[in-house]
């Protein structure tokens, strides 16, 4: 099925020099207008397994503003596969993201936060499959060993040699995928949530699951120590939390360089990376690749929340 995915569009662009450090941008946001960034990379091998099995629909999980849900819904519409989503909490079922998902034909059901917490419990998943055995289940955020395999591929596309690769983390699947294929680079991980202990464990576990699932040799015990640098202090209060200075930063990046970032992930990462450069974390002459993981669909929802709080909005005209 031709759905218009174009990983060749994910070029590396020189972004700007900042205090002697060269920043480049990998444009994964250009992979597809609706299934952009790491979303396609994470879905790719789930989709592959879906087609190889006797499945008829896809079930996945997420919050009311989830980029992953939007991408899965778009994929379903474009490929003629029915999609179904269980949403965390019932409070924001009228979000622009969920309206978009519903318009793509996704079946959406809000469940309580306590029930949502069972999303990875084998018993809960089995009970869902008993009712609907035709479902292929993709975990929250599109993670799973399949996601790591898709994200690892981006490393073989790189044309320039970098000292560092900077990326934003939620579940840690994208970071783990990149770390699975890393060579000499150091990977700067900027979590979008308050997550120091959680994210390190999550990345390590996902790498282990990945090598087991695909029968690969396990990673050396010092792999993460050698390649992972966790930059944990730029979450702006937590997941999807935002402050006026982040909005101001985003508007400045857009008006100065036409660079559109998303408020939940990539804006926090670039904000943090520039602060890290200010603090002299990198030697002058270092080359850093910033991964643009997409996610721009969430801006409408964030602007609605900002308006409700009487805060300035993200202004990408």
Ligand X SMILES: Cc1ncc(COP(=O)(O)O)c(C=O)c1O
Could you count the other beta carbons within 10 Å of the beta carbon of residue 195?
20
Return the residues of window 70-89 that contact ligand X according to CB under 6 A.
none
- How far apart, in whole angstroms, are the C-alpha atoms of residue 62 and residue 140? 6
* Nearest-CB residue for ligand X: 295
Taking the least distance from each CB to ligand X, the nearer of 89 and 129 is: 89
Interface pick for ligand X out of 25, 34, 38, 104 (rule CB under 6 A): 38
Closer residue to ligand X (CB): 81 or 199: 199
CB of residue 207 vs ligand X: minimum separation in angstroms? 13
At closest approach, how far in Å is the CB of 275 from ligand X?
A: 19
Quote the CA–CA distance of 109 and 125 in Å, as a whole number: 15
Nearest approach, Cβ of residue 127 and ligand X (Å): 26
Nearer to ligand X, 71 or 306 (CB): 71
Q: State the DSSP string of 51-81.
A: HHTT--EEEEEE-TT-HHHHHHHHHHHHHT-
Region near ligand X per CB under 6 A, out of 4-12, 73-81, 157-165, 291-299: 291-299
Binding residue for ligand X, selected from 60, 67, 83, 146, defined by CB under 6 A: 67
Report residue 74 as tokens: 């778009």
Choose the stretch contacting ligand X; rule: CB under 6 A; options: 7-15, 112-120, 207-215, 259-267: 259-267
Please, which residue, 172 or 301, has the CB nearer to ligand X?
172
User: Quick check: 265 binds ligand X (CB under 6 A)?
Assistant: yes
Q: Is the dihedral of CA 310, 232, 147, 282 positive or negative?
A: positive
Q: How far is the CB of 56 from ligand X (least distance, A)?
A: 25
Question: Which one, 37 or 145, has the nearer CB to ligand X?
Answer: 37
**Count of residues interacting with ligand X (CB under 6 A):** 19
Smaller CB separation from ligand X, 76 or 170 = 170
User: Is 263 in a helix, a strand, or coil?
Assistant: coil
The three-point CA angle 61-66-70 to 5° equals 90
CB 165 within 8 A of CB 187: yes
Which uninterrupted H or E stretch holds 15?
A: strand 12-18
CA distance 296 to 220: 36
Place of tokens 């508007």: 251
From edge to edge, which strands make up the β-sheet containing 107-111? 107-111, 82-88, 57-62, 135-138
In terms of phi and psi (left: phi > 0; alpha: psi -120 to 50; beta: otherwise), the region of 91 is alpha
- Find the binding residues for ligand X in span 120-179 (CB under 6 A): 141, 168-175
Query: Which of these segments, 9-17, 124-132, 251-259, 261-269, binds ligand X (CB under 6 A)?
Result: 261-269
Please list the alpha-helical segments (H only) found in 59-144. 67-79, 96-103, 113-116, 122-131
Q: Is 293 in the site for ligand X (CB under 6 A)?
A: yes
Pick from 10, 37, 61, 224 the residue near ligand X by CB under 6 A: 37
By beta-carbon proximity to ligand X, the closer residue of 96 and 170 is: 170
- Shortest distance (Å) from residue 178 CB to ligand X: 10
- Tokens 């944990």 correspond to 232
Q: Which residue has the tokens 């020099």?
A: 17
Judged by the rule CB under 6 A, the positions of this chain that interact with ligand X are 37-38, 67-68, 141, 168-175, 262, 265-266, 293-295
């Amino acid at each position: 099925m031709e759905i218009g995915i174009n990983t060749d569009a994910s070029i590396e662009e020189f972004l700007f020099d900042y205090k002697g450090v060269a920043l480049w941008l990998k444009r994964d946001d250009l992979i597809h207008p609706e299934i952009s960034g790491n979303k396609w990379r994470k879905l790719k091998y789930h989709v592959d397994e879906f087609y190889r099995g006797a499945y008829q629909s896809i079930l996945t999980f997420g919050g009311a503003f989830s980029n992953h849900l939007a991408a899965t819904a778009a994929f379903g519409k474009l490929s003629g596969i029915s999609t179904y989503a269980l949403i965390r909490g019932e409070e924001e079922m009228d979000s622009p993201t969920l309206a978009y998902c519903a318009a793509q034909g996704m079946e959406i059901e809000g469940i309580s936060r306590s029930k949502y917490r069972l999303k990875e419990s084998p018993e809960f998943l089995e009970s869902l499959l008993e009712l609907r055995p035709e479902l292929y289940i993709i975990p929250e955020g599109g993670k799973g060993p399949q996601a790591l395999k898709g994200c690892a591929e981006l490393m073989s596309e790189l044309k320039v040699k970098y000292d560092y690769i900077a990326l934003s983390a939620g579940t840690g699947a994208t970071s783990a995928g990149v770390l699975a294929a890393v060579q000499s680079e150091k990977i700067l991980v900027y979590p979008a949530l308050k997550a120091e202990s959680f994210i390190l464990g999550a990345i390590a576990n996902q790498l282990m699951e990945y090598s087991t699932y695909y029968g690969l040799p396990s990673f050396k015990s010092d792999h993460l120590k050698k390649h992972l640098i966790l930059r944990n202090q730029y979450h702006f209060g937590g997941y999807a939390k935002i402050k006026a200075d982040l909005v101001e930063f985003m508007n400045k990046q857009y008006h100065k360089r036409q660079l559109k970032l998303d408020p939940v992930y990539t804006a926090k990462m670039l904000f943090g990376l520039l602060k890290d450069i200010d603090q002299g974390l990198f030697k002058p002459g270092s080359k850093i690749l910033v991964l643009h993981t997409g996610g721009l669909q969430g801006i409408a929802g964030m602007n609605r929340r900002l308006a409700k709080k009487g805060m300035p909005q993200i202004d990408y005209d």
